[in-house]
Amino acid sequence: MTRWIATAAGLVFAVSAPTSVSAETLREAVAAAFATNPQLAAARARQEALAETPEQARALGRLTAAGGGTAGYDRFGYGRGGIATVSATLPIWTGGRVPAAVRAAGRDVAAGEEGLRDTGAAILESVVAAYADLLYNQQAVEVARVGIERLDAQVAEARSRFGLGQATQTDVAQLEAQRASVVANLADAEGTLAIVAAAYRAIVGRPAGTLAAEVPSPVRLPATRDEARVASIADNPLLLQQRRAAEASAARIAQERAERAPSLGLAGSYGYGGRLGGGDLRGYDAGAVGGVALRIPLLTGGLVAARVRQAEANNRADRFGADAAAREAERGADAGWAALAAAQGRLTANIEGLRAADLALRGVRAEYGFDLRSTIDILVADQSLRAAQLAVARSRGDVLIAQAALLRATGRLTVDAYG
């Protein structure tokens, strides 16, 4: 249905908008923005930083070693001296602290990935909106230019008829006034086009050329409202992000509870010292220590219990947030579906209106040649045609924007959506 509407609109709109073999497509604009947008690049870098947290959590359960040394001078005759040491620690049992920390960090990374996916979708939705806005304004400029050319021909004809005594000076003045009004509209349209082109360049990352008016229907666009609802619950990135956040906060409950458990590890150190006196280096006996380190929490002043309650409360909040996100995802799918249906309905109606307006102008002009129509009739028909052309152009942009919103709500707005 959507593909047929876009094709029909393109055929009808061809009366005022020329095509270009080198026109930039929406797919090209999406690809350019996805590759160069600095906001998306920043989000990717933050996600890369977040992806390091599970490895940091795992490091808490691995062997660590460190070296150290001191050197100095005393005034009691011993001269200069120093000590060098090497120590190592290997956790054997952490009471569940490390596994819980790794789970929490892993869920944080998963939530971040969903957030990154939504950031990309938001940027792509902005690209589609900028493309639709720029396309409309380019077509508005073309409508005004073609309208001026058409009125120029009509003014010339009226002047010729006036010379033959078949029209009045009033007829000529009315057409000239209409032409001046369209010239003013063209000036406004060109100014707006420059502003919109700047916004397009900011989001896409490159200047806009002539945009392709024909935009294929996006892939994976839901066919029914029920399909849109199911997809939103299964794949909406904000909903999945909130669910992963709830899983992370659940893991942190276990992490805080583990602070009550004992921990066991191996620890060892080796040291050697020496002093320099009278030009000779004299070493002390080397020393080494190794053994098992056991830590048993006995009294924490209520700190651990408070942190457990805090983690549990945060988890409840995240679970409620996931429920709210599910409702919002379903609402977004319903709203997106309704907006798309309305936009498609307007486009269909406006296409029919444009066909009728084009036919009406042709008929009025033909009848005007036989003195069956007045100049006012031509002016009204001409203005109706331009209004119908702009209505079709705006409706086509509305369809593009509604499609992108529905795809985002269902988690399907990706760089490949317009492939």
pLDDT score of 13: 46
Q: Is 237 helix (H, G, I), strand (E, B) or coil?
A: helix
Of residues 273 and 381, which shows the higher confidence score? Answer: 381
| pLDDT tens, residue by residue, 180-210 | 999 999 999 999 999 999 999 999 999 988 9
User: Which is it for strands 287-295 and 280-283: parallel, antiparallel or unpaired?
Assistant: unpaired
Q: For 61-90, what is the mean pLDDT?
A: 77
Element (H, E) at 50: helix 38-50
On whether the pTM is more than 0.75, the answer is: yes
Residue 203: closest CA among 291, 131, 104, 298: 131
Of residues 290 and 147, which shows the higher confidence score? Answer: 147
Give the single-character DSSP code of 62.
S
Give the single-character DSSP code of 293.
E
- CA–CA separation, 378 and 385 (whole Å): 11
Q: Say whether pLDDT at 282 is over 50.
A: yes
Which DSSP string corresponds to 335-390?
A: HHHHHHHHHHHHHHHHHHHHHHHHHHHHHHHHHHTTTSS-HHHHHHHHHHHHHHHH
Out of 69-78, 240-249, 383-392, 393-402, least confident range = 69-78
Give the single-character DSSP code of 224.
S
Q: With contact defined as beta carbons under 8 Å apart, do 174 and 154 qualify?
A: no
pLDDT classification of 331: cutoffs 50, 70, 90: very high
Q: Is 417 exposed, middle or buried (0-12, 13-18, 19+ CB in 10 A)?
A: buried
pLDDT classification of 47: cutoffs 50, 70, 90: very high
What average pLDDT does the structure give for the chain? Answer: 89
Q: For 222-228, what is the mean pLDDT?
A: 96
pLDDT classification of 3: cutoffs 50, 70, 90: very low
Q: With contact defined as beta carbons under 8 Å apart, do 382 and 178 qualify?
A: yes
